Amino acid sequence: MLSTLTSRLRPMFMAASLFALAASAQATVITFGTGGTPGFTGGGSSDGPVNVGGGITLTVTPWSNSFIFDPTLTVDGNGYGVRSGIIDDDQLDGSGWTEGLILTFSSAVQINGVELRNFSGDDDVDLFANGNPWAGGTVVGMVFKIQADDYNSEFRVRSVNFDAVSAVPEPANLLTAGLGLGLLALGRFRRK
């Protein structure tokens, strides 16, 4: 009886495994700053576009609400920051002018995480996707802004973890999903 049960469950388990394999995506982590991902060296008015894999490019641009100074991208071993004034420090901060980074991808991605450095308990950060404030849940888009929220906020952006978002399933995923459906049908047929 156990061998009969095992032979019935095996195709269903294999099919479920193949569906999970077809649905999974390979996350990409881009590390900014000294010792980070090649191409993201910082300094100046922007970094990129840099090919980050899968035909996707990323451009990082400093942002500030300053109407006097142009923001510049700063970099060290803790990641990217922004300077928007003569006496401004090299981190993203809200002291004087609110500062942030604009991440522009060449195609839609899902942001899974952002690593911040020099971030403390009184720091606040805002994330925008395609110009809209992030309200929780999945963040998908092509243009993202990470900015300091208030006067006391000071931090750097060290890395971004993302998945490519495909509107049309890739042929390999379709094949894997089709194989999973075939195994389910085979398991169903064997039961009868």
| pLDDT category of residue 2 using cuts at 50, 70 and 90 | very low
Strands 125-129 vs 132-133: parallel, antiparallel or unpaired: antiparallel
Tens-digit pLDDT profile for residues 59-116? 999 888 888 888 888 888 888 888 887 777 788 788 778 888 999 999 999 999 899 9
User: What's the predicted TM-score (pTM) here?
Assistant: 0.70
Distance linking the first and last C-alpha atoms of the chain = 16
pLDDT at 16: 36
Tens-digit pLDDT profile for residues 18-64? 333 334 457 889 888 777 777 776 666 777 788 888 889 999 998 88
Those residues whose C-beta lies under 8 Å from the C-beta of residue 45, and which sit 6 or more positions away, are: 61, 62, 70, 72, 73
48-55 contact pairs (CB < 8 A, 24+): 48/104, 49/106, 52/28, 52/105, 53/28, 54/28, 54/164, 55/106, 55/107
Those residues whose C-beta lies under 8 Å from the C-beta of residue 14, and which sit 6 or more positions away, are: 180, 183
